[in-house]
Structure 1
Amino acid sequence: MNSSGSAEGTQNQEGGRRLYNPYEDLHGPAFDIRPVKSLYQIPTTPEFLFQEEAALKRRSFSDNITYYTGSAYLTGAVSGAAVGLVEGLKAAEAGDSTKLRINRVLNSSGHTGRKFGNRLGVIGLLYAGLESGIVAARGTDDSINSVIAGLGTGALFRAAAGIRSAAVAGAIGGLAVGAVVAGKHALRRYVPI
């Protein structure tokens, strides 16, 4: 029941069904599978629709707020859910049913995840607003802007707790952002990409 002609090798009978392999006739050097880079010349640099976009070296104000707020909220929610999971597992009592234990873990994870996510989201929102405002005020985009924004973010976030708490939080925020900026510069310098 094999077909004749050019499709002779492409149809086989197996268990009452004809199986078709469209690649069976493709042999030789012209049909060798090559790495994707040799098939397609994919650019390694970002592509821009307009030249004005290519001239910009940083995100816009709205992109900055969206990026920092969203990534901070997500980080806080995931880490808070992990902390809540541990708390929920520790709070289990000897006579609890499986449903009660699962409910306790889910409630604890959800509550702690929302709490951490909201706190870090607000910190991301403050940082993005301050950094964009400082870049606009100074007219330059350098590492000093990030460190000043970290100082201001910590101080503003803890301002309601008093001057001492705001000063300590500002110092911690500035040091944290300074460490991130220094690490970023070290990665660029010493790690080849």
Structure 2
Amino acid sequence: MNSSSSTEGTQNPEGGRRYYNPYEDLHGPAFDIRPVKNLYQIPTTPEFLFQEEAALKRRSFSDNITFYTGCAYLTGAVTGAGVGLVQGVKAGEAGDSLKLRINRVLNGSGHTGRKFGNRLGVIGLLYAGVEGGIVAARGEDDSINSILAGLGTGVLFRAAAGIRSAAVAGAIGGLAVGAVVTGKQVLRRYVPI
């Protein structure tokens, strides 16, 4: 077979073989990618498949429950695993073997991680539920909903421990969410994105 047959492609500068270039016949402004930024310019605005999605300004109730519960559980599990790791390392005794020390660290990390993750996951679930209820009851979407949801979450989470404990937890929840909402508004206003 002749190496200079009628295959498509560009001629090798040394002569001989021709190499196939699938983009050789594409010309014009649509295919000009010389400034590399034209190839990698990604839009900064959200893209939606349907116009109904673009009109929504907040996540749906089920999306909120999934998001808050998942994020809270993950945060609690990672934090608890770190705390359990430190406790497991500190609990080591002088005569322990390496296997026993590793086992103690793993058990401490797993136990404390599950405990923290479950507690924060329940708090995230309560927060999403209370916030969804408040938004549905008020019919508005503003920062007051978030603060009231933090207050209600604290009260519900500690309700079994008594009225005083529930009131303190509610105040802490409301203040914590208020601080987060304020911090978010400050970041939005003073930090360019």
Do they fold alike, i.e. is TM over 0.5?
Answer: yes
Equivalent in the alignment of 2:96: 96
Mapped contact 2:81–2:109 kept (Cα < 8 A):
yes
What is the distance in 2 between the residues matched to 1:79 and 1:10?
64
Q: Equivalences for 1:32-181 in 2 at 5 Å?
A: 34-35=35-36, 37-181=37-181
Offset of residue 10 of structure 1: 9.7
State the TM-score, normalizing by the size of structure 2. Answer: 0.84
- Aligned residue identity for 1:182: T
State the TM-score, normalizing by the size of structure 1. Answer: 0.84
Q: 1:141 to 1:10 in 2, by over 3 A?
A: farther
Unpaired runs of 5+ residues, structure 1, are 12-20, 24-29
What is the distance in 2 between the residues matched to 1:126 and 1:94?
44
Mapped contact 1:10–1:22 kept (Cα < 8 A):
no
- Aligned residue identity for 1:167: A
What is the distance in 2 between the residues matched to 1:41 and 1:122?
41
Q: 1:39 to 1:142 in 2, by over 3 A?
A: same
Unpaired runs of 5+ residues, structure 2, are 5-10, 22-30
- Aligned residue identity for 2:110: G
Cα RMSD for the two superposed structures: 2.5
- Aligned residue identity for 2:156: L
Mapped contact 1:151–1:174 kept (Cα < 8 A):
yes
Mapped contact 2:85–2:105 kept (Cα < 8 A):
yes
Mapped contact 2:73–2:121 kept (Cα < 8 A):
yes
Equivalent in the alignment of 1:7: 12
Q: Following TM superposition, where does structure 1 have runs of at least 4 consecutive aligned residues deviating by more than 2 angstroms?
A: 6-11, 30-35
